[in-house]
Amino acid sequence: MASRAYSFFPSDSLLHRMDALSKFLWLVIASVLPFVMWDPRQLAIQAIFLLLVSVFLIKTDLGSVLRTWGLLVFLASLLLFFHITNRHEGDLVARFWVLSIYSDGLRVGLVYSLRVVAILGASYIFVRTTNPRHLVVAIISLGLNYRYAWMLFVGLVSLPVFESEVQTIKEAQMVRGLRRHSNIVSERLEMYRRYMMPLLASALRRVEHLAIAMDSRAFAAYPDRTFIDDFHWSWSGVLLLVGTLLILIVLLVWRILLHPSIGLVSPT
Amino acid sequence: MITIEDLTYHYPEAKSPTLKSISLHVNPGELVLITGHSGSGKSTLFHCLKGLLPHLYGGTLEGKILADGQDLSKMRVADISVHVGLVMQDPDTQFCNLFVRDEVAFGVENLKLPAKECVARVQSALAAVGLLHASDRLVIELSGGEKQRVAIASVLAMDPPVMLLDEPAANLDAKSGREILNFVAELRRGGKTILLVQHDLDEMIHVADKLLILERGEVLDYGPPRALIEKYGATLTSAHHIGLPQVTLAALGARRAFGSASLPLTVQEFASWVLKPPQHGAAQPRSPEVIGTGQALARPAVVDAEDVSYAYPRAVNQVVKKVSLRVQEGEVVAILGKNGSGKSTLARLLVGLLKPRQGVIRLGNRDVAQLRHHDIHRLSGYVFQYPEHQFLTNSVQDEIGYGLEVQSVPRAEQQRIIADVVASLGLAGLEARHPFTLSGGEKRRLSVATMLVLEPRLLILDEPTYGLDEGNVVNLVRLMFEQLRHRGITFLFITHDMRLVAEYADRALVMHHGELVFDGAPKDLFRDSALLERSELLAPPVVELTNTLAQRGLAVPDGTITVLQLCQALNWVYAQESEKL
């Protein structure tokens, strides 16, 4: 079976062994970092660092890493192109036939696109290496009601099921003569409308069955419940978290001391 | 142990009660087999026993459900779960964890037992179902049978004395299904009280202590299975739409061979009770009333595959490996294999839904890879396992006409074709209904109708009996297959139901780990016990019966694979004998 790129992949890497809460907090900080950085080179360093971690440290299949990062680079390129073609301030840097690239467009485009790469790259590492159940246990240990945390968990683990259901519905409707691809917007909307009804019926059936299966095993019977795996902080996770936090603090101090004019969050 | 007194249940906003005045008593350690046509109230009864109704989903419940003297209808669902456990039909829809160990722990964790005890119970439950080694595996990586065993283990860990099992083998291939049912019988021997819903009575009728027959929400009868089978005989199928075991059906059809003996429930009983066989040689079957002929005639190929291989995107392993086959015009072909053997992928390749990585597929002598979507759609059809996946419009009439509209068939012609198909598939009177509001059998017929109107050269039916009760299987499948045959449409069907294969298929294809390991007549497949074993398939009970009779000196003709063929053979033998006397 094909492994889905943006989902948990069981392995025994250092990142897999870190506790889920440290990684979650690391993700939060790693997502804030790109907004503190003001130079595209800083962002590029973060993106390359995350790429190297994805390739060498999370022990997943290389194909999945390359596909995901390929998609991220593609998205980033689209953003970059959008900014280059829409911002005409600053100095003219280069001209290709009808396309003129100005310094502001290039800088802002690079900042935006590298931010996207950095945030999605960090979340890829998090999703790929974190068992959603461990995250749920960790969140519950912080005081969140387990009923809500479990809803989040079931949602996360059900996504691949619905993805495969959509694929089956697409094929089932193709057989009826419905085209899979159309470039006309109205046709596309009509196509999605037709997918919705069977998908909704199927989702309701699945949700009903799952609810019965969970209720009949005493889910939510008591205000709290046991977990066979308690949450524990891991040294490696805490080190990662503290290290990233330090980088954030250093960057903030640097900005305030050296570039007081640009404020706490980078301009675009 | 369980006593139900005058139980009546009304769903919210329903006009009439779904369960009406149900009363019965189940002793500790008994296995009660529950059967009834779709909508007879089997699942509703289970949900009432589990307390899901009315506590969680509303409605009104009257009467009493007592377990060990305690009224379950007045207990909280959580408290009931330590008395009564529930395992449902489709394991895939009841999992809420990624790993086997976590899934089995789910129930005991909810009961707030100490973590150490939870772990001990998980290990003990996994050991009981033989999956201790799979504790750290992902649930989605397991086979269908293993998944169902995980579902049972997650209930076993809670240690309820009563277990409700709602068709636990229905979604599984025959061998995995038999393993699950054997395990259910073991649970009973281990002291559990079991209530088991099952449409197919063959495997469990002789193990059950009691048979409960539900009809339109009421108890039609409740008692020892043998007594009820004797009492109702063939009317159980004809009047109440409940399938009898093949062995019993054969005995009913060949009464002459039994004298005054009672009806057998097992192959061994049949073979022991049948009158001493006559000595004048082998029986000769009359022409069996089967649709397929089993003959390989030289006719033009409708679909032709040559060295076809396929792997899903991003997957490492091929799911179809170098398959070559040729399906001739008018053939009825069954595609068989255990879950995950590559049956559905092969079928999707044949109608161009997937493109082969290697090899060529020709549909009507044209390479599918070169055909436009429109042409493939005109030449072939595919009825999916869940018919509602294919519905596109808001009425039965529009649904049937959709394909004709796409093909730009003139309106008047459309009306004529629709009227013809509606009449022949028994959909008259339903034209204005929304497809999603139809019953399971009606939805299946509608999805076949949407394909029939286009008169494709090739039609593939994916699990045509899925979710249907015996009455629907007998009537609807016969109707569908006869219509297809009548219209000269070549069709392939994917199935786990070997009785269907024996009765309807000219030819069987067996897939195993992506390879086509058998391509031939069903009778040859059922004769090859080594192949059946390797492919994890089971021949229908009537084949086992025929073999046993042959071993005991009653030479039933070679190739007897249906109940009808066996009855004809036995009746012929014993008629000759009586004439002699």
The answer to the question of residue B378 being in a domain is: yes
Residue type present at position A239: L
Q: Across residues B287-310, what is the average pLDDT? A: 68
B96 in A contact zone (CB under 8 Å):
yes
Residues of B in contact with A214 (CB under 8 A): 96, 106
Structure tokens at A86: 């829409």
DSSP assigned state of B89: S
How far apart (Å, rounded) are the C-alpha atoms in residues B206 and B284?
Answer: 31
The answer to the question of residue B381 being in a domain is: yes
How far apart (Å, rounded) are the C-alpha atoms in residues A4 and B462?
Answer: 26
Q: Do B389 and A202 touch (CB under 8 A)?
A: yes
- Confidence band of B386 (pLDDT split at 50, 70, 90): confident
E strand or H helix that includes residue A157: helix A146-175
Judgement on whether residues B271 and B334 belong to the same structural domain of the protein: no
Interface A–B counts its CB contacts (< 8 A) at 166
Judgement on whether residues B183 and B261 belong to the same structural domain of the protein: no
Mean pLDDT by 10 residues, chain A (268 residues): 67 92 94 89 92 87 85 91 85 82 88 93 93 90 89 82 82 78 71 83 87 89 89 93 94 82 56
pLDDT tens by residue, B51-110: 888 887 788 999 999 987 888 888 888 788 889 999 998 888 889 998 999 999 999 999
B373 in A contact zone (CB under 8 Å):
yes
Tell me which residue range forms the domain holding B126. 2-233
Judgement on whether residues B385 and B396 belong to the same structural domain of the protein: yes
Question: Which one of B389, B406, B407, B408 would you mutate to disrupt binding with A, by most A Cβ within 10 Å of its Cβ?
Answer: B389
Judgement on whether residues B417 and B357 belong to the same structural domain of the protein: yes
Q: What is the pTM of this model?
A: 0.83
Q: Report the number of secondary-structure helices (H) and strands (E) in chain A.
A: 9, 2
The full 3-state SS of B452-482, as one line of letters, equals: HCCCCCEEEEECCCCCCCHHHHHHHHHHHHH
The radius of gyration computed from the CA coordinates of chain A, to the nearest angstrom, equals: 23
Per-residue pLDDT at A1: 42
Listing DSSP states for A5-59 in one string gives TTS------HHHHS-HHHHHHHHHHHHHHHHH--SHHHHHHHHHHHHHHHHHTS-
The answer to the question of residue B404 being in a domain is: yes
Q: Using an 8 Å Cβ cutoff, are B578 and B295 in contact?
A: no
Judgement on whether residues B219 and B81 belong to the same structural domain of the protein: yes
Structure tokens at B4: 């139900």
The answer to the question of residue B296 being in a domain is: no
Distances (CA, A) of B578 to A132, B74, B256, B570: 73, 63, 9, 12
Of B88, B101, B392, nearest to A194 by CB-CB distance is B392
The answer to the question of residue B293 being in a domain is: no
Residue B215's CB: how many other CB atoms inside 10 A? 18
- Residues comprising chain A, all counted: 268
- Output phi, psi for A109, to 5 deg: -60, -45
Domain map of chain A by residue range?
14-130+234-262, 144-215
Per-residue pLDDT at B32: 97
How far apart (Å, rounded) are the C-alpha atoms in residues B330 and B308?
Answer: 23
The answer to the question of residue B287 being in a domain is: no
Judgement on whether residues B568 and B520 belong to the same structural domain of the protein: no
pLDDT tens by residue, B133-181: 999 998 888 888 899 999 999 999 999 999 999 999 887 888 888 889 9
| Share above pLDDT 90 across residues of chain A, in percent, rounded to a whole number | 34
Cβ-based burial of B485 (10 A; exposed 0-12, middle 13-18, buried ≥19): middle
Q: Which residues are within 8 A (CB) of A249 and not within 5 positions of it... i.e. 6 or more apart?
A: none
E strand or H helix that includes residue B223: strand B218-223
B450 in A contact zone (CB under 8 Å):
yes
Q: Using an 8 Å Cβ cutoff, are B97 and B166 in contact?
A: no
Residue type present at position B86: L
Judgement on whether residues B462 and B490 belong to the same structural domain of the protein: yes
Could you tell me whether strands B358-363 and B301-310 are parallel, antiparallel, or unpaired per DSSP bridges? antiparallel
Structural domain tally of chain B? 3
Structure tokens at B351: 């109608």
The answer to the question of residue B244 being in a domain is: no
Q: Do B392 and A202 touch (CB under 8 A)?
A: no
Judgement on whether residues B91 and B38 belong to the same structural domain of the protein: yes
Q: Do B389 and A198 touch (CB under 8 A)?
A: yes
Per-residue pLDDT at B182: 92
Per-residue pLDDT at B260: 62
How far apart (Å, rounded) are the C-alpha atoms in residues B82 and B160?
Answer: 5
Q: Do B314 and A230 touch (CB under 8 A)?
A: no
Residue A94's CB: how many other CB atoms inside 10 A? 10
Judgement on whether residues B168 and B312 belong to the same structural domain of the protein: no
Complex ipTM tops 0.85: no
Judgement on whether residues B377 and B333 belong to the same structural domain of the protein: yes
Give the domain CATH number at B337.
Answer: 3.40.50.300
Report the mean per-residue pLDDT for chain B.
87
How far apart (Å, rounded) are the C-alpha atoms in residues B351 and B263?
Answer: 46
How far apart (Å, rounded) are the C-alpha atoms in residues B95 and B74?
Answer: 28
**Closest alpha carbon within chain A to B48:** A216
The answer to the question of residue B547 being in a domain is: yes
Cβ-based burial of A82 (10 A; exposed 0-12, middle 13-18, buried ≥19): middle
pLDDT tens by residue, B23-48: 999 999 999 999 988 778 998 999 99
pLDDT tens by residue, B436-452: 888 878 888 898 889 88
DSSP, collapsed to helix, strand or coil, labels residue B84 as strand
How far apart (Å, rounded) are the C-alpha atoms in residues A9 and A59?
Answer: 9
Of A5, A133, A216, nearest to B81 by CB-CB distance is A216
pLDDT tens by residue, A50-103: 999 988 888 877 888 888 899 899 999 999 999 888 888 888 888 888 788 888
Of B81, B114, B374, nearest to A217 by CB-CB distance is B81
Choice between A151 and B279, residue whose per-residue pLDDT is larger: A151
Judgement on whether residues B117 and B259 belong to the same structural domain of the protein: no
Judgement on whether residues B184 and B331 belong to the same structural domain of the protein: no
